[in-house]
Every structure is written in C-alpha cells, then in structure tokens.
C-alpha cells in the first residue's frame, strides 16, 4: 500500500539535512520513496494531509522488558499468558511511537518469540532486538523470577556456557549484570559484581557470534571494567567518570542512560519498608546520574535512548525520559530527539536502515502535533499517526 504524507514539517537533523522544511513524503512497499516540494508533483496512493505537523523517524527504546519479573507473579503463569502479555507490551510500544525496541531480558526469552511472530507478519509490532535471559553472577540479590528471567553464573567457564546458550536460543545481544541493582532492596549499585575474566568470557563468545554485549552498570568500577573488556553498551551509566568518557569518545562503545526509573512510583504490591529503601536509593542515584550524564553529554557523546520501565505503566510516565534528560541533564531538545532516533539506530546496527527520514530508508515514521525541536513537551503525548515499515498502525 502506498501513501503520500502531504505538508509534513521536517526537522533537518532528522531528515538527512534535507533542504525542505515542509514536504510531501511518498511511501511505498515499506520504504520512503521520495521527499518532494508539495507543489512539485501529483500525490500518489492514499493521501494524508499532515497540515504542517512534524514528521519524525520512528522512536527507539534500547532498554525494554517485554515481559519481566515484575509481571511474573504468580510464577506459575503459563507460557500462553506470558506470550500474550509480551505481545500486548509490543503493541503498546508501537502505539507510543516506538518502532524499534531492544529487549534487555524477558521471561522465558519470550522476546524472541514475539520477534519471530512480528517478522513473519502474523502480528504488527515494533522491530524487536531480543536479549534473552539476563546473565548475572551468583549473589545475595533476591529476584522473584528465578531462572525464568535470570541465569546465574560463577566463573569464566559458566559464563562461556551461558553466553553460548543464550545465542543458541536466538539472542541478538546478551545482557550481563555488572553492578548491583537499583531496584532491588538488597542491591548495591555502587558495587561491581562480575570479575574481569567473566566479562571477557561473555565478550569473547559475542565476538565469535558477530554480536554484542550490553551491561547493566551503575558503578564507576563496573563501567570502566566493562569498557576495558569490550562491552558494547553501558546501560544506566549512573557513575560514568571522566576516564570512561574519554574511552567512549572513540565510539567503540556507547551509553544507554535510563532515567525513567528514577521517577519512582510505588507499586501496589511493594512492602512499605522496601518502598522507603528504594525511594532513598533512587534519590541518590538520580542526583549522581544527572551530574555525570550531564558531563558525558557536554563531552559530545552520542547516547542511546532507553527507558527501562514497563510499558503498562507508561501512561503515567509518558515523556518522562525526554523530560528528565532535558531538566536533569541539561540536554538540548534536538539532541534528545537524535538520541531517540538516529543515534539509537547507529547503536542498534540499523544505521542506513531506519532512524532518519531519507529516501530508501524503511518507512518507520511518527507524526507529532507540534514542534518537538522547539517544545519538547510535544513528546509527552502519543503520536497522531504511526507507520511501521510503511504500514499505518495508528
């Protein structure tokens, strides 16, 4: 099916520096075919008058959990229920304009199944990059999901085995836990929890597979250890220091900050005592991350865009990641938009495929009612229209 999106407002930085600010975008067979002056051609296919609204590339969220331990109670939930909830999550991400998501750990590796259902055309959802189960060291932190969501390893050999098995099960990327958790009461975010040889084992297997490793990292020591051993993306990056920033300037590895969880809302099923501990912990982390990520941003680092929050609570938090990057880290509107599109496409290995509005790119597009490069609050609302691979889904 073909469409002409008439009278779209384009942002040059997100549109290959196209000279037109108001243009018609012609989409056919899933691709952006042409970008033209509205008065220079005859519109083809289904015509949608965008009336000067801003057309953006589809958004990326590089840190999601299509189905996580928070949703697994009771642990006896059957595979059908888990798959159904994960598919609902995928659909909601698309509704909110996220046309590509990178799953950083899901129950029973359900993200792989959702990915395949979408790729086979049985269900319309975002592009899914699957991360399988999270690999973390044996530790005191208490996870309710058990081995359905996390696999524990101790030592070099167990890491080799776990990494091989995760890739064999279909992982596009593997995620390791290199520092303590912020959202577990027993976790110590400033504490590294993997040994260098364990991290190197994961990277060795990923490299052999032609794939990458992402690492949950809050602590300075864990971040630097992961960068030294070849980890590709540093998730959260709360205490990223100047040494790490210098390494990251080479663009061999990238930061994927996730500020949204700092906007803490008390779940109904959480013990009040635990809630008080987490609130105190998250306040400290929010202060540290805003300071350090501001420094990383001012150093000119390209960063990815991640939220690390269940999409089912997204209606209460829509736009929070955009808002916090601006207000806490002093990032400019256009740079945050680049992080959510072009830079994340680069990090995800999709540069030249999606992430910009350019001829020949996949037609992953969202239409926003306003000018988000001038007023970021536009991104606090759902898109007026969403296209995924040339299919109008919203």
* β-strand partners of 24: 36
Q: What is the DSSP letter of 365?
A: E
Q: Which residue has the tokens 């001012």?
A: 298
- The CA distance from 89 to 296, in Å, is 31
Q: At what angle do helices 196-209 and 220-228 cross, to 10 degrees?
A: 40
Which residue has 């210098």 as its token pair?
246
**Residue among 68, 83, 142 nearest 308 (CA):** 68
pLDDT digit string, tens, across residues 28-68: 999 999 999 998 888 899 999 999 999 999 999 999 999 87
**Can you give the pLDDT at residue 266?**
53
Residue 226 in tokens: 């992961």
C-alpha span between 159 and 137 (Å, rounded): 9
Sorted by where each starts, the structural domains of the chain and their CATH numbers stand as 3-57+356-392 (2.30.40.10), 59-347 (3.20.20.140)
Between helix 110-119 and helix 79-95 the angle, nearest 10°, is 60
CA dist., res. 179 & res. 188, Å (int): 8
Dump pLDDT digits (tens) for 311-339.
766 656 679 999 999 999 999 999 999 99
- Does the pLDDT value for residue 77 go beyond 70? no
Q: Please check whether residue 103 is in contact with residue 311, taking contact to mean a CB–CB distance below 8 angstroms.
A: no
- End-to-end CA separation in angstroms for the chain: 15
The answer to whether the beta carbons of residues 129 and 105 sit under 8 Å apart is: no
Whether residue 11 is predicted with pLDDT greater than 80 in this model: the reply is yes
Q: What confidence score (pLDDT) does residue 70 get?
A: 55
pLDDT of residue 281: 79
pLDDT at 141: 62
Distance from C-alpha of 106 to C-alpha of 305, rounded to nearest angstrom = 19
Q: Which percentage of the chain shows pLDDT scores above 70?
A: 91
Q: How far apart are CA 72 and CA 81, in angstroms?
A: 10
Q: For position 74, what pLDDT does the model report?
A: 45
Question: How far apart are alpha carbons 251 and 341 in whole angstroms?
Answer: 17
> Does residue 143 have a pLDDT over 60?
no
SS3 state at 171:
coil
Segment 125-151 shows an average pLDDT of 82
Alpha helices in the chain (DSSP H): 79-95, 110-119, 156-168, 196-209, 220-228, 242-248, 272-298, 314-317, 320-327, 333-339, 342-347
How far apart (Å, rounded) are the C-alpha atoms in residues 127 and 365?
13
Q: For position 283, what pLDDT does the model report?
A: 85
Going by C-beta distance under 8 Å and a sequence separation of 6 or more, which residues neighbour residue 56? 11, 14, 97, 337, 341, 357, 365, 366, 367, 368, 372
pTM: 0.95
319: β partners: none
pLDDT at 39: 86
Q: Give mean pLDDT, residues 89-117.
A: 96
**386 touches 392 (CB < 8 A):** yes
The phi-psi region of residue 279 (left if phi > 0; otherwise alpha if psi is between -120 and 50; otherwise beta) is alpha
Which pair of structure tokens corresponds to residue 118?
A: 């979408």
Residue 197's contacts (CB-CB under 8 Å, 6 or more residues apart) are: 156
């Amino acid at each position: 099916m073909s469409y002409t999106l008439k009278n779209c407002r384009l942002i040059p930085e997100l549109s290959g520096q196209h000279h037109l600010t108001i243009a018609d975008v012609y989409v056919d067979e899933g691709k952006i075919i042409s970008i033209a002056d509205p008065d220079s051609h005859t519109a083809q296919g289904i015509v949608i008058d965008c009336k000067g609204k801003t057309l953006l590339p589809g958004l990326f969220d590089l840190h999601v959990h299509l189905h996580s331990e928070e949703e697994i109670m009771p642990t006896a939930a059957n595979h059908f229920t888990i798959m159904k909830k994960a598919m609902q999550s995928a659909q909601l991400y698309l509704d909110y304009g996220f046309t590509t998501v990178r799953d950083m750990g899901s129950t029973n590796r359900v993200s792989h199944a959702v990915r395949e259902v979408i790729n086979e055309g049985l269900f319309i959802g975002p592009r899914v990059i699957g991360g399988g189960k999270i690999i973390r060291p044996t530790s005191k932190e208490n996870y309710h999901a058990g081995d359905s969501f996390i696999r524990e390893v101790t030592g070099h050999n167990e890491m080799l085995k776990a990494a091989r098995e995760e890739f064999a099960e279909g992982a596009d990327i593997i995620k390791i836990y290199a520092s303590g958790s912020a959202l577990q009461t027993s976790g110590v975010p400033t504490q590294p929890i993997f040994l260098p040889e364990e991290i190197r084992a994961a990277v060795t297997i990923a490299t052999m597979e032609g794939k990458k490793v992402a690492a949950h990292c809050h602590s300075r020591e864990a971040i630097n250890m992961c960068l030294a051993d070849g980890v590709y993306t540093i998730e959260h990056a709360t205490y990223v220091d100047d040494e790490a920033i210098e390494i990251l300037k080479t663009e061999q590895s990238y930061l994927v900050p996730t500020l949204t969880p700092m906007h803490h809302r008390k779940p109904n099923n959480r013990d009040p005592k635990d809630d008080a501990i987490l609130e105190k912990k998250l306040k400290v982390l929010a202060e540290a991350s805003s300071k350090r990520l501001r420094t990383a941003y001012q150093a000119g680092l390209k960063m990815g865009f991640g939220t690390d929050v269940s999409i089912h609570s997204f209606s209460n938090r829509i736009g929070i990641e955009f808002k916090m990057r601006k207000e806490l880290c002093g990032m400019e509107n256009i740079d945050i938009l680049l992080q959510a599109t072009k830079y994340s496409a680069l990090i995800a290995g999709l540069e030249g495929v999606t992430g910009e509005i350019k001829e020949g790119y996949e037609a992953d597009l969202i239409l926003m009612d306003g000018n988000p490069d001038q007023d970021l609050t536009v991104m606090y609302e759902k898109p007026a229209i969403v296209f995924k691979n040339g299919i109008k889904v919203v």
